[in-house]
Structure 1
Amino acid sequence: MLFTYNIVIKFYYAFVWLASFFNKKAALWINGRKNIALKPLKGCAWFHFASLGEFEQGRPVLEALKAKYPAKPIVVTFFSPSGYEIRKNTPLADAVYYLPLDTATNARHFIDTLQPEMAIFTKYEYWYHFFNELDKRDIPLYIISGIFRPGQVFFKWYGGLHRKMLGMVSHFFVQDDDSKQLLANLNITNVTVSGDTRFDRVWENAQNPKELPVIAAFKAGQKVFVAGSTWPKDEELLTQLISLYPDWKFIFAPHEIGEDKIDHLMGLLPENETVRFSKISNLKSHVSNLRVLVIDNIGMLSSLYQYGEVAYIGGGFGVGIHNTLEAAAFGLPVVFGPNYQRFREARELIALNAGTSINNANELKQVANRLMNDEEYQASASAKIKTYVRENTGATESIINYISVN
């Protein structure tokens, strides 16, 4: 099985290398791993994240550990360019790197040089050679905000190598009891149900949000529908609402902000009522006169929701919905597409009648009618969703308390 794993890793690298000639993200992935200049940081805490979303998810633990042990160096690694390129200069870390390709040689060199005191991986990143090196050196490895489902490779007949990786983890902090039970079925009992650290992150953000004066000026006291992390399929449906609700304003924050994606979205929107965020300074008229704002940068979305009344979360017509909790923490009822089943919080929000999944334009219009016309219903959903987020905080404290005494 290890032989097959090593072959797959090499084929994956070759595939990304070929893609790098015509794909910017693939090029960043390849170039970022060339000649990584590691610096020794003996006794550091090593945090690894797949991408930006996982960084935000694990950030409360990183910040809490840094606050408790300010002298301890922090190293952050990313698998994806979308995490590294945005957070490579974060002041929370003493060093930020791309995770080298998972080979035995790379793992030995990385850990020999870094000499970490502990490693903390968020959610679902499992790399055999890095785990094996940590295990051989008795360096504690923690999985935080872990989530397990029966369909994962760990629970398949062919998942022997991945089950072996689970045995290399010092302790799992999982999101729910179902995950704990699945691990128990594999005789893995070093597990704590701590919850999801994303709740801590989004709740903290909602209590002390970054103010955005331009967005406040755009809102101008009117109700705002925020469409976050949208894809073209989402946008084709959502743009139909604009003419139906002339008293509402709309903010679109697409998941991808390449010029072709932004141009496509702009083509769906009313030209005389729409502005790109990057073009606001060029306006001769005041931004409050406009109805539609397109966010063409990365990093604002988590703060945008404070100006909204209702949110749509994109991705549900693709591989899966994006982060519903950032909007929920501000009390915004959330709407999303049909592919949400893998996300526990989405299922729970639906059960609370504070989240709604839609399959087509007609269903979107029905839920919009309920949320955008019925103020009593909207207020009830808002109260429920905010309470839900608040009651699910506390994972970070549980994790830090355990790590501190082990």
Structure 2
Amino acid sequence: MAGHPWTRRLYSAALLALSPLIWRRVWREQLPGRPRAERLGAIPTASPGSRTLWLHCASVGEVQAARPLIEALTRVYPDHRLVVTTMTATGAERSLALVEKAAERRDGGEVSHHFVPLDFPGAARRFVDRLRPRLAIFFETELWPNLLAACDRRGVPVAVVNGRLSPRAFRRYRRLGRLMAEALSHVAWLGAKSAADAERFRALGMAPDAIRVTGSLKFDLARDEAAREVSERLRRELGERPVWVAGSTHPGEDEAVLEAHARLRETRPEALLILVPRHPQRFAAVAELCAARGLATARRSRDEVPTAETALYLGDTMGELSSLYGAADLAFVGGSLVPVGGHNLLEPAAMGLPVLTGPELANFSDVAEALREREALVEVADAEALADELDRLFGDAAERERLATAGRAVVEANRGALVRTLAGLERLLPAE
């Protein structure tokens, strides 16, 4: 086995030393009725001969991006159980929504969810021993050394899909060079989002012949018909007024978005903002922020329907961002006016919405570049620029249509990562 196992022992010792802080951090990331012992790998033991595929995603954004893969795996391997793990509670809630939809289908396999164990050696071994997966799939940059080693110990092949390493993440991982080389030695196949990502994984020690450039699975997203129906119904309720969505916003960004909306309403007093904070634990605080600004606000969680006097509709529910995007004329994608790295620009683009964003796009640089090449992305630096662009676009129907057409064209031109990813996974687990 390649690598340096002693570096993993040092890593494990550091984790154990920091365990009080780690446990405090994940304590709140829980769902009612779910035992916290899952964090230590204490899950039900799979029956002998069970046929399980395991897909790990960090949080809600990764689960959403992985949805095409989740649906495809249940179709291609209908006699297997697919277990999706997440670190965060929001990711768990999104996973459970997909589980419910899978249960309604007749042509796919079972889908279930567990919280991923903390990467302590014993917890990692316990989880893999009890789950007994035939294949482990890690999404994007979820590289947990002890989990990867536990898979290797049990003979479970490991794949990394939609593999992504931003320049900042690469610099951080490179400081852990021997640890990462040992972790990547347990990966049998890696599907990288881009040639640049593939090169960074190679520089960390991934075997070159195990890497393929597959493209981004985010381009293979499919529109949810149930979400489309919700969008159409909501749009009818909102009427013909100008409507824009600010999706997946963060602290410090909500204030900028609200300032931009106040500026916009100086020239377009009938305009409505649908504000969707990224994390549910912030819903109440954002509602208080809106009230402090004196905005007439309706809350989706309370089934309140915006009236002509409503200035802001707070999307304080989980799993409905797609439906809310679909009810709007324009979409601003958050995590981009603050140093977060951006969120999924393709979801509104695929729906035919003009997409606006801030400058912080490190996590979606490849997607942003593809949209820029087709002039399908409007980039703003601050609240004032956002207000100006919103006002300009609401006054120019032809430009809105051009942006919408260009955005859809980018999505269509870059599809295909799903087929390439499934082909790579089939090398490790042939379809039956």
Q: How would you bin the TM-score normalised by the shorter chain?
A: 0.7 to 0.9
Go from structure 1 to structure 2 and tell me whether the alpha carbon gap of 1:351 and 1:11 turns closer, same or farther (over 3 Å shift): farther
Q: Is the 8 A contact 1:39 1:113 kept in 2?
A: yes
Deviations 1:142-188 (A, max 9, x none): 11111124441576254211122122111111111112233344452
Question: Pick from 254, 267, 272: which aligns with 1:249?
Answer: 272
- Please list, as runs of the form range in 1=range in 2, the aligned pairs for 1:202-213 lying within 5 A after superposition: 203-205=222-224, 209-212=228-231
Deviation at 1:209, TM superposition (A): 2.7
Matched ranges for 1:154-165 at <5 A: 156-165=174-183
Secondary structure of 1:97's counterpart equals strand
The one-letter code of the counterpart of 1:113 is R
- Assess, with a 3 A threshold, how the Cα gap between structure 1 residues 66 and 389 changes in structure 2: closer, same or farther: same
- Structure 1: unaligned runs, 5 residues or longer: none
Counterpart residue number, 1:71: 79
Structure 2 partner of 1:100: 117
Q: 2:194 aligns with which of 176, 197, 216?
A: 176
User: Structure 1 residues 150, 234: CA separation in 2 closer, same or farther (over 3 Å shift)?
Assistant: closer
Aligned position for 1:145: 162
- Conserved? CA contact 1:16–1:26, under 8 Å: no
CA distance in 1, matches of 2:358, 2:183: 34
Secondary structure of 1:376's partner? helix
The aligned residue for residue 135 of structure 1 is 152
Q: CA deviation at 1:216?
A: 2.3
What value does the CA root-mean-square deviation take over the aligned residues? 2.8
2:385 equivalent to 1:382: no
Q: Paired residue for 1:48?
A: 56
CA distance in 1, matches of 2:17, 2:287: 33
- Structure 1 residues 27 and 297, CA, compared in 2 at 3 Å: closer, same or farther? closer
2: distance between equivalents of 1:206 and 1:319? 30
Contact 2:84–2:95 (Cα < 8 Å) also in 1: no
Alignment of 1:15-94 (within 5 A): 15-18=21-24, 24-25=28-29, 31=36, 33=39, 36-41=42-47, 42-88=50-96, 90-91=99-100, 92=102, 93-94=110-111
Q: Write the distance in 2 (CA, Å) between the matches of 1:154 and 1:117.
A: 31
Q: Give the superposition deviation at 1:228.
A: 0.8
Give the match's secondary structure for 2:274.
strand
Q: Shift in Å at residue 6 of structure 1?
A: 0.9
- Correspondence for 1:332 among 353, 372, 396: 353
For the structure 1 residues 320 and 210, does the alpha-carbon distance in structure 2 shift closer, same or farther, using more than 3 Å as the test?
A: farther
Given that residues 53 and 133 in structure 2 are in contact (C-alpha distance below 8 angstroms), is that contact kept between their aligned partners in structure 1?
Answer: yes
Q: 1:234 and 2:253 equivalent?
A: yes
* Residue in structure 2 matched with residue 350 of structure 1 by the alignment: 372
Which moves more between the two structures, 350-359 or 308-317?
350-359
**1:225 to partner: Cα distance:** 0.8
1:13-64 superposed Cα distances (whole Å, 9 cap, x missing partner): 31133457xx744898993526833231533101111111111222211211
Distance 1:297 1:155, change over 3 A: closer
Equivalent residues, number: 398
Residue of structure 2 in register with 1:310 after alignment: 330
Separation in 2, partners of 1:165, 1:121: 12
Q: Is the 8 A contact 2:43 2:127 kept in 1?
A: no
Are the counterparts in 2 of residues 227 and 252 from structure 1 also a CA contact under 8 Å? Answer: yes
Q: Which of 283, 289, 292 in structure 2 is aligned with 1:267?
A: 292
Q: Which amino acid aligns with 2:343?
A: H
Question: What secondary structure is seen at the aligned counterpart in 2 of 1:293?
Answer: strand
8 A contact 1:111–1:133 mirrored in 2: yes
Single out whichever of 358-367 and 49-58 deviates more from structure 2: 358-367
Deviation at 1:213, TM superposition (A): 6.0
In the TM superposition, what is the alpha-carbon distance from 1:395 to its structure 2 partner?
Answer: 1.3
Which AA in structure 1 matches 2:191? F
Letter in 1 for 2:299: R
The letter of the residue matching 2:249 is: T
Partner secondary structure for residue 209 of structure 1: helix
Is 1:220 the counterpart of 2:245 in the alignment?
no
Match of 1:342, SS state, is helix
Is the contact between residue 41 and residue 127 of structure 2 (CA under 8 Å) also seen in structure 1? no
**Are the counterparts in 2 of residues 338 and 357 from structure 1 also a CA contact under 8 Å?**
yes
TM-score normalized by the length of structure 2: 0.83
Q: Secondary structure at the match of 2:362?
A: coil
Letter in 2 for 1:193: V
Please give the alpha-carbon distance, in whole angstroms, between the structure 1 residues aligned to 2:51 and 2:41: 23
Which shows bigger deviation, 85-94 or 252-261? 85-94
SS in 1 for 2:209: coil
| Length-normalised TM-score, structure 1 | 0.88
Letter in 2 for 1:99: V
Report what 2:4 is aligned to.
Answer: none
